[in-house]
Amino acid sequence: MLKRVQKLKNGLRGVITIPSDKSISHRAVMFSSLAKGNCVINNFSSGADCHSTLNIFKQLGVNIEFIGKKTLKVESEGKLNHSFTPLDAGNSGTTTRLISGILAGQNFDSTIIGDESLSKRPMKRIIEPLTLMGANIESVDGHAPLTIHGCKLNGINYSSKLSSAQVKSCILLAGLNAEGETTYTEPYISRNHTELLLDYLGADIKVNDSSVTVRPSKLTGKDIEVVGDISSAAFFIVAGLITTKSDFIIKNVGLNPTRAGIIDIVKRMNGQIEILDKHVQSGELVGNIKVQYSENLKGCTIEGEDIPRLIDELPVIAVLASQAEGQTTVKNAEDLRNKESDRIKCLVSELTKIGISITEKSDGFIINGKTKITGNAELESYHDHRLAMSFYIAGLIAEKEIGINGFEWTKISFPEFEELIYKLI
Protein backbone atom coordinates (compact mmCIF):
# COMPACT_ATOMS: atom_id res chain seq x y z
CA MET A 1 0.00 0.00 0.00
CA LEU A 2 1.39 3.38 -1.08
CA LYS A 3 0.45 6.20 1.31
CA ARG A 4 0.82 9.76 0.03
CA VAL A 5 1.48 12.56 2.54
CA GLN A 6 1.31 16.28 1.84
CA LYS A 7 2.56 19.30 3.76
CA LEU A 8 0.27 20.41 6.56
CA LYS A 9 -1.06 23.92 5.90
CA ASN A 10 -2.17 24.66 9.45
CA GLY A 11 -0.96 23.26 12.76
CA LEU A 12 -2.24 20.35 14.82
CA ARG A 13 -4.71 21.46 17.50
CA GLY A 14 -7.10 19.87 19.98
CA VAL A 15 -7.04 16.94 22.43
CA ILE A 16 -6.42 13.24 21.72
CA THR A 17 -6.24 10.17 23.93
CA ILE A 18 -3.32 7.96 23.01
CA PRO A 19 -3.92 4.20 22.55
CA SER A 20 -2.88 1.71 25.19
CA ASP A 21 0.71 0.73 25.84
CA LYS A 22 1.68 -2.36 23.85
CA SER A 23 4.48 -3.43 26.20
CA ILE A 24 2.11 -3.42 29.16
CA SER A 25 -0.73 -5.02 27.17
CA HIS A 26 1.53 -7.97 26.28
CA ARG A 27 2.55 -8.41 29.90
CA ALA A 28 -0.96 -7.96 31.28
CA VAL A 29 -2.22 -10.94 29.26
CA MET A 30 0.83 -13.09 29.99
CA PHE A 31 1.02 -12.43 33.72
CA SER A 32 -2.72 -12.64 34.37
CA SER A 33 -2.70 -15.97 32.51
CA LEU A 34 -0.03 -17.19 34.95
CA ALA A 35 -1.96 -15.84 37.95
CA LYS A 36 -4.64 -17.79 39.78
CA GLY A 37 -8.01 -16.10 39.80
CA ASN A 38 -9.94 -13.63 37.68
CA CYS A 39 -8.56 -10.44 36.19
CA VAL A 40 -10.08 -7.63 34.13
CA ILE A 41 -7.68 -5.82 31.81
CA ASN A 42 -8.93 -2.37 30.81
CA ASN A 43 -7.66 -0.44 27.77
CA PHE A 44 -6.02 -3.43 26.05
CA SER A 45 -4.08 -2.60 22.88
CA SER A 46 -5.75 -3.06 19.50
CA GLY A 47 -2.36 -3.67 17.81
CA ALA A 48 -1.81 -6.93 15.95
CA ASP A 49 1.25 -7.85 18.04
CA CYS A 50 -0.71 -7.82 21.30
CA HIS A 51 -3.44 -9.90 19.71
CA SER A 52 -0.77 -12.47 18.79
CA THR A 53 0.01 -12.76 22.51
CA LEU A 54 -3.70 -12.96 23.36
CA ASN A 55 -4.33 -15.74 20.84
CA ILE A 56 -1.35 -17.78 22.03
CA PHE A 57 -2.55 -17.80 25.64
CA LYS A 58 -6.02 -18.82 24.51
CA GLN A 59 -4.30 -21.65 22.63
CA LEU A 60 -2.52 -22.60 25.87
CA GLY A 61 -5.87 -23.13 27.57
CA VAL A 62 -6.48 -19.80 29.34
CA ASN A 63 -10.08 -18.56 29.31
CA ILE A 64 -9.89 -15.03 27.86
CA GLU A 65 -12.76 -13.06 26.38
CA PHE A 66 -13.58 -9.49 25.44
CA ILE A 67 -16.30 -7.90 27.58
CA GLY A 68 -16.00 -4.56 25.79
CA LYS A 69 -14.10 -3.14 22.81
CA LYS A 70 -10.85 -2.84 24.80
CA THR A 71 -11.65 -4.76 27.99
CA LEU A 72 -10.58 -8.35 28.59
CA LYS A 73 -11.67 -10.80 31.25
CA VAL A 74 -9.06 -13.44 32.10
CA GLU A 75 -9.96 -16.55 34.11
CA SER A 76 -6.98 -18.74 34.97
CA GLU A 77 -6.01 -21.55 37.31
CA GLY A 78 -2.43 -20.32 37.18
CA LYS A 79 -1.21 -23.05 34.83
CA LEU A 80 -0.93 -23.58 31.08
CA ASN A 81 -1.90 -26.53 28.90
CA HIS A 82 0.01 -28.13 26.05
CA SER A 83 -0.81 -26.91 22.53
CA PHE A 84 -0.57 -29.58 19.84
CA THR A 85 -0.20 -26.95 17.13
CA PRO A 86 2.53 -24.28 16.78
CA LEU A 87 2.13 -20.98 18.61
CA ASP A 88 2.06 -18.18 16.03
CA ALA A 89 3.68 -14.96 17.29
CA GLY A 90 3.12 -13.20 13.97
CA ASN A 91 5.44 -10.18 13.77
CA SER A 92 5.93 -9.85 17.53
CA GLY A 93 9.43 -10.14 18.94
CA THR A 94 8.07 -9.22 22.39
CA THR A 95 5.69 -12.18 22.30
CA THR A 96 8.40 -14.59 21.17
CA ARG A 97 11.07 -13.58 23.64
CA LEU A 98 8.88 -13.24 26.72
CA ILE A 99 6.84 -16.38 26.18
CA SER A 100 10.04 -18.40 25.69
CA GLY A 101 10.90 -17.76 29.33
CA ILE A 102 7.46 -18.93 30.39
CA LEU A 103 7.44 -22.06 28.21
CA ALA A 104 11.00 -23.16 29.08
CA GLY A 105 9.93 -24.33 32.56
CA GLN A 106 6.64 -26.04 31.64
CA ASN A 107 6.11 -29.81 31.63
CA PHE A 108 5.34 -29.91 27.90
CA ASP A 109 6.99 -29.03 24.60
CA SER A 110 6.09 -26.03 22.44
CA THR A 111 6.96 -24.58 19.05
CA ILE A 112 6.88 -20.84 18.38
CA ILE A 113 6.61 -19.62 14.80
CA GLY A 114 6.25 -16.18 13.21
CA ASP A 115 6.25 -14.28 9.95
CA GLU A 116 9.24 -13.72 7.67
CA SER A 117 10.35 -10.58 9.49
CA LEU A 118 10.20 -12.21 12.93
CA SER A 119 12.17 -15.20 11.67
CA LYS A 120 15.11 -12.90 10.91
CA ARG A 121 15.35 -11.38 14.38
CA PRO A 122 18.02 -12.61 16.83
CA MET A 123 16.93 -15.08 19.52
CA LYS A 124 20.37 -16.15 20.77
CA ARG A 125 20.14 -13.35 23.32
CA ILE A 126 17.41 -15.31 25.14
CA ILE A 127 18.47 -18.83 24.18
CA GLU A 128 21.91 -18.50 25.82
CA PRO A 129 20.79 -17.42 29.32
CA LEU A 130 17.81 -19.81 29.26
CA THR A 131 20.20 -22.65 28.37
CA LEU A 132 22.32 -21.71 31.40
CA MET A 133 19.15 -22.22 33.46
CA GLY A 134 18.81 -25.74 32.03
CA ALA A 135 16.40 -24.99 29.18
CA ASN A 136 16.36 -27.15 26.05
CA ILE A 137 15.66 -25.00 22.99
CA GLU A 138 16.06 -25.77 19.30
CA SER A 139 16.32 -22.90 16.82
CA VAL A 140 17.20 -22.22 13.20
CA ASP A 141 20.69 -20.79 13.66
CA GLY A 142 19.54 -18.64 16.56
CA HIS A 143 16.27 -17.59 14.94
CA ALA A 144 12.61 -18.66 15.03
CA PRO A 145 10.96 -21.09 14.70
CA LEU A 146 11.88 -22.12 18.24
CA THR A 147 11.11 -25.55 19.65
CA ILE A 148 11.14 -25.46 23.44
CA HIS A 149 11.31 -28.74 25.34
CA GLY A 150 9.86 -27.92 28.75
CA CYS A 151 11.99 -29.03 31.70
CA LYS A 152 13.03 -28.11 35.25
CA LEU A 153 15.01 -24.89 35.45
CA ASN A 154 17.58 -23.62 37.93
CA GLY A 155 18.05 -20.02 38.99
CA ILE A 156 21.14 -18.18 37.76
CA ASN A 157 23.02 -14.94 38.37
CA TYR A 158 23.25 -13.47 34.88
CA SER A 159 25.04 -10.29 33.76
CA SER A 160 23.94 -9.12 30.33
CA LYS A 161 26.11 -7.03 28.00
CA LEU A 162 22.91 -5.62 26.50
CA SER A 163 20.24 -3.49 28.18
CA SER A 164 17.10 -5.18 26.89
CA ALA A 165 13.71 -5.30 28.61
CA GLN A 166 12.72 -8.29 26.47
CA VAL A 167 15.72 -10.38 27.51
CA LYS A 168 15.38 -9.29 31.14
CA SER A 169 11.66 -10.13 31.16
CA CYS A 170 12.29 -13.53 29.57
CA ILE A 171 14.78 -14.53 32.28
CA LEU A 172 12.64 -13.16 35.13
CA LEU A 173 9.62 -15.08 33.84
CA ALA A 174 11.71 -18.25 33.66
CA GLY A 175 12.86 -17.51 37.21
CA LEU A 176 9.27 -17.57 38.49
CA ASN A 177 9.27 -21.30 37.79
CA ALA A 178 12.93 -22.13 38.53
CA GLU A 179 14.65 -23.73 41.50
CA GLY A 180 16.29 -21.10 43.69
CA GLU A 181 16.97 -17.44 43.04
CA THR A 182 17.39 -15.76 39.64
CA THR A 183 19.24 -12.43 39.33
CA TYR A 184 19.51 -10.43 36.13
CA THR A 185 21.94 -7.49 35.83
CA GLU A 186 22.19 -5.11 32.85
CA PRO A 187 24.51 -2.18 32.00
CA TYR A 188 21.72 0.42 32.17
CA ILE A 189 18.19 0.08 33.48
CA SER A 190 15.86 -0.91 30.62
CA ARG A 191 12.08 -0.46 30.77
CA ASN A 192 10.73 -2.01 33.97
CA HIS A 193 7.09 -2.84 33.19
CA THR A 194 7.77 -6.50 34.03
CA GLU A 195 9.15 -5.70 37.47
CA LEU A 196 6.28 -3.34 38.32
CA LEU A 197 3.54 -5.67 37.14
CA LEU A 198 5.04 -8.80 38.74
CA ASP A 199 5.29 -6.92 42.02
CA TYR A 200 1.68 -5.71 41.63
CA LEU A 201 0.52 -9.33 41.14
CA GLY A 202 2.40 -10.61 44.20
CA ALA A 203 5.69 -12.01 42.89
CA ASP A 204 8.72 -12.28 45.19
CA ILE A 205 10.83 -9.74 43.32
CA LYS A 206 13.44 -7.22 44.41
CA VAL A 207 15.14 -4.44 42.43
CA ASN A 208 18.59 -3.07 43.26
CA ASP A 209 19.63 -0.41 40.76
CA SER A 210 20.28 -2.30 37.46
CA SER A 211 19.88 -5.75 39.06
CA VAL A 212 16.60 -7.60 39.56
CA THR A 213 16.13 -10.74 41.63
CA VAL A 214 13.11 -13.04 41.50
CA ARG A 215 12.27 -16.18 43.47
CA PRO A 216 9.75 -18.90 42.55
CA SER A 217 6.36 -17.25 42.97
CA LYS A 218 2.64 -17.77 42.55
CA LEU A 219 0.84 -14.78 41.08
CA THR A 220 -2.61 -13.60 42.17
CA GLY A 221 -5.06 -12.19 39.65
CA LYS A 222 -5.85 -8.47 39.99
CA ASP A 223 -7.52 -5.98 37.68
CA ILE A 224 -5.06 -4.10 35.46
CA GLU A 225 -5.50 -0.65 33.90
CA VAL A 226 -3.22 -0.25 30.88
CA VAL A 227 -1.83 3.28 30.47
CA GLY A 228 -1.34 5.03 27.12
CA ASP A 229 1.71 4.19 25.00
CA ILE A 230 4.48 6.80 25.07
CA SER A 231 6.07 5.18 22.00
CA SER A 232 2.87 5.96 20.09
CA ALA A 233 2.67 9.43 21.64
CA ALA A 234 6.20 10.10 20.37
CA PHE A 235 5.01 10.52 16.76
CA PHE A 236 2.53 13.19 17.85
CA ILE A 237 5.04 14.90 20.15
CA VAL A 238 7.46 15.27 17.24
CA ALA A 239 4.68 16.33 14.83
CA GLY A 240 3.58 19.06 17.24
CA LEU A 241 7.10 20.36 17.80
CA ILE A 242 7.91 20.71 14.07
CA THR A 243 4.59 21.82 12.48
CA THR A 244 3.90 25.54 12.76
CA LYS A 245 0.95 26.75 14.87
CA SER A 246 0.58 23.37 16.61
CA ASP A 247 -0.77 23.37 20.17
CA PHE A 248 -2.49 20.27 21.58
CA ILE A 249 -2.78 17.87 24.50
CA ILE A 250 -2.18 14.10 24.48
CA LYS A 251 -4.09 12.41 27.30
CA ASN A 252 -3.37 9.26 29.32
CA VAL A 253 0.31 8.81 28.43
CA GLY A 254 2.46 6.40 30.42
CA LEU A 255 5.36 8.33 31.97
CA ASN A 256 7.37 5.44 33.40
CA PRO A 257 10.89 6.90 33.89
CA THR A 258 12.46 3.88 32.16
CA ARG A 259 10.39 4.64 29.03
CA ALA A 260 10.10 8.44 29.02
CA GLY A 261 13.51 9.23 27.54
CA ILE A 262 11.91 11.15 24.68
CA ILE A 263 10.53 13.69 27.18
CA ASP A 264 14.04 14.36 28.48
CA ILE A 265 15.48 14.60 24.96
CA VAL A 266 12.78 17.03 23.83
CA LYS A 267 13.55 19.26 26.83
CA ARG A 268 17.28 18.95 26.09
CA MET A 269 16.53 20.10 22.53
CA ASN A 270 14.57 23.13 23.79
CA GLY A 271 11.18 21.75 22.78
CA GLN A 272 8.02 23.24 24.29
CA ILE A 273 6.45 20.39 26.22
CA GLU A 274 4.61 20.29 29.54
CA ILE A 275 3.44 17.39 31.72
CA LEU A 276 0.01 17.76 33.35
CA ASP A 277 -2.02 15.74 35.89
CA LYS A 278 0.57 13.13 36.94
CA HIS A 279 -0.79 10.12 38.87
CA VAL A 280 -0.17 6.38 39.37
CA GLN A 281 -2.34 3.71 37.75
CA SER A 282 -1.80 -0.05 38.35
CA GLY A 283 1.76 0.72 39.44
CA GLU A 284 2.56 2.93 36.41
CA LEU A 285 3.03 6.71 36.31
CA VAL A 286 0.65 8.38 33.86
CA GLY A 287 -0.26 11.94 32.83
CA ASN A 288 -1.20 14.33 30.00
CA ILE A 289 1.32 15.99 27.67
CA LYS A 290 0.89 19.50 26.24
CA VAL A 291 2.88 20.03 23.02
CA GLN A 292 3.50 23.30 21.16
CA TYR A 293 5.38 24.19 17.99
CA SER A 294 9.00 24.92 18.83
CA GLU A 295 10.94 27.11 16.40
CA ASN A 296 14.24 27.15 18.32
CA LEU A 297 15.11 23.46 18.61
CA LYS A 298 18.77 22.67 19.30
CA GLY A 299 20.76 19.54 18.43
CA CYS A 300 22.12 17.28 21.16
CA THR A 301 23.92 14.01 21.83
CA ILE A 302 21.88 10.89 22.64
CA GLU A 303 23.94 8.03 24.08
CA GLY A 304 24.58 5.59 26.95
CA GLU A 305 21.78 5.34 29.46
CA ASP A 306 19.51 7.44 27.19
CA ILE A 307 19.25 4.60 24.67
CA PRO A 308 17.23 1.90 26.49
CA ARG A 309 14.73 4.61 27.53
CA LEU A 310 13.93 5.62 23.93
CA ILE A 311 15.22 2.90 21.58
CA ASP A 312 11.86 2.60 19.77
CA GLU A 313 11.50 6.36 19.41
CA LEU A 314 14.84 6.96 17.66
CA PRO A 315 13.41 6.84 14.10
CA VAL A 316 11.00 9.71 14.77
CA ILE A 317 13.62 11.51 16.88
CA ALA A 318 15.73 11.50 13.70
CA VAL A 319 12.96 13.51 12.00
CA LEU A 320 12.88 15.89 14.97
CA ALA A 321 16.66 16.32 14.83
CA SER A 322 16.46 17.38 11.18
CA GLN A 323 14.57 20.50 12.38
CA ALA A 324 17.03 21.37 15.15
CA GLU A 325 19.91 23.80 14.75
CA GLY A 326 23.32 22.16 14.87
CA GLN A 327 24.32 18.53 15.06
CA THR A 328 22.46 15.67 16.72
CA THR A 329 24.51 12.53 17.37
CA VAL A 330 23.04 9.16 18.32
CA LYS A 331 25.56 6.67 19.81
CA ASN A 332 25.43 3.23 21.49
CA ALA A 333 22.24 2.35 19.56
CA GLU A 334 23.59 -0.62 17.58
CA ASP A 335 20.56 -2.68 18.64
CA LEU A 336 18.54 -0.60 16.16
CA ARG A 337 20.01 -2.93 13.55
CA ASN A 338 18.13 -5.88 15.12
CA LYS A 339 14.60 -4.48 14.97
CA GLU A 340 11.95 -5.15 12.32
CA SER A 341 14.54 -3.71 9.92
CA ASP A 342 18.10 -2.47 10.21
CA ARG A 343 16.75 0.88 11.36
CA ILE A 344 20.09 2.67 11.13
CA LYS A 345 20.76 1.70 7.52
CA CYS A 346 17.13 2.15 6.44
CA LEU A 347 16.74 5.56 8.11
CA VAL A 348 19.87 6.86 6.41
CA SER A 349 18.81 5.48 3.02
CA GLU A 350 15.28 6.92 3.08
CA LEU A 351 15.76 10.23 4.91
CA THR A 352 18.57 11.12 2.50
CA LYS A 353 16.05 10.85 -0.36
CA ILE A 354 14.03 13.75 1.10
CA GLY A 355 16.93 16.09 1.77
CA ILE A 356 17.84 15.30 5.37
CA SER A 357 21.58 15.38 6.12
CA ILE A 358 22.14 12.08 7.95
CA THR A 359 25.33 10.01 8.21
CA GLU A 360 25.40 6.34 9.14
CA LYS A 361 27.59 5.15 12.02
CA SER A 362 28.06 1.59 13.23
CA ASP A 363 26.13 2.30 16.43
CA GLY A 364 23.85 5.15 15.35
CA PHE A 365 23.78 8.20 13.11
CA ILE A 366 24.59 11.91 12.89
CA ILE A 367 22.10 14.51 11.65
CA ASN A 368 22.99 18.06 10.64
CA GLY A 369 20.16 20.56 10.91
CA LYS A 370 18.19 22.65 10.41
CA THR A 371 17.14 21.12 7.06
CA LYS A 372 14.34 21.77 4.61
CA ILE A 373 12.65 18.46 3.91
CA THR A 374 12.28 18.45 0.14
CA GLY A 375 9.92 15.50 -0.30
CA ASN A 376 9.14 14.54 -3.91
CA ALA A 377 10.17 10.92 -3.31
CA GLU A 378 8.82 7.47 -2.59
CA LEU A 379 10.17 5.98 0.63
CA GLU A 380 10.35 2.31 1.57
CA SER A 381 9.02 1.19 4.96
CA TYR A 382 10.96 -2.12 4.89
CA HIS A 383 7.92 -3.76 6.57
CA ASP A 384 8.74 -1.63 9.64
CA HIS A 385 5.81 0.16 11.26
CA ARG A 386 7.93 2.72 13.15
CA LEU A 387 9.79 3.74 10.00
CA ALA A 388 6.50 4.14 8.11
CA MET A 389 5.02 6.43 10.78
CA SER A 390 8.24 8.44 11.15
CA PHE A 391 8.27 9.10 7.40
CA TYR A 392 4.62 10.19 7.61
CA ILE A 393 5.55 12.81 10.24
CA ALA A 394 8.37 14.02 7.97
CA GLY A 395 5.83 14.34 5.17
CA LEU A 396 3.77 16.82 7.20
CA ILE A 397 6.49 19.46 6.73
CA ALA A 398 7.95 18.35 3.36
CA GLU A 399 7.96 20.93 0.56
CA LYS A 400 6.50 18.40 -1.87
CA GLU A 401 4.45 15.23 -1.46
CA ILE A 402 6.12 12.03 -0.32
CA GLY A 403 4.93 8.47 -0.81
CA ILE A 404 5.44 5.64 1.72
CA ASN A 405 5.43 2.07 0.44
CA GLY A 406 4.13 -0.61 2.80
CA PHE A 407 2.25 1.82 5.03
CA GLU A 408 -0.16 -0.98 5.99
CA TRP A 409 2.51 -2.25 8.41
CA THR A 410 1.44 0.52 10.78
CA LYS A 411 -1.61 -1.62 11.60
CA ILE A 412 0.72 -3.93 13.55
CA SER A 413 1.32 -1.46 16.34
CA PHE A 414 -0.89 1.57 15.82
CA PRO A 415 -4.05 1.07 13.72
CA GLU A 416 -5.49 4.37 15.05
CA PHE A 417 -2.51 6.45 13.88
CA GLU A 418 -4.06 8.26 10.91
CA GLU A 419 -7.43 8.67 12.61
CA LEU A 420 -5.77 10.59 15.46
CA ILE A 421 -3.71 12.70 13.05
CA TYR A 422 -6.89 13.72 11.22
CA LYS A 423 -8.54 14.54 14.55
CA LEU A 424 -5.87 17.17 15.21
CA ILE A 425 -5.84 18.64 11.68
Active-site hit among 21, 88, 229, 312: 312
Pairwise CA distance, residues 412 & 409, whole Å: 6
Give me the helices (H) in 11-123, please. Answer: 22-34, 48-59, 93-103
Residue 107 is classified by DSSP as S
Residue 287 is classified by DSSP as E
- Which residues fall within 8 angstroms of residue 336, CB to CB, at 6 or more apart? 311, 314, 342, 343, 344, 364
- Which residues fall within 8 angstroms of residue 183, CB to CB, at 6 or more apart? 155, 156, 157, 158, 211, 212, 213
Pairwise CA distance, residues 51 & 66, whole Å: 12
> Nearest to residue 241, comparing CAs of 273, 264, 211, 219?
273
Give me the helices (H) in 247-312, please. Answer: 261-268
User: Could you confirm whether 312 is annotated as catalytic?
Assistant: yes
- Which residues fall within 8 angstroms of residue 81, CB to CB, at 6 or more apart? 60, 61, 108
> Nearest to residue 226, comparing CAs of 98, 414, 53, 45?
45
Buried b (16+ CB within 10 A) or exposed e, 403-414: bbbbbebbbbbb
- Asked whether 288 and 277 are in contact (CB, 8 A), the reply is yes
- Which residues fall within 8 angstroms of residue 72, CB to CB, at 6 or more apart? 29, 40, 41, 44, 54, 64, 65, 66
CA distances 212 to 27, 68, 325, 417, Å, are: 17, 36, 40, 35
Instruction: Give catalytic residues, as residue numbers.
Output: 312
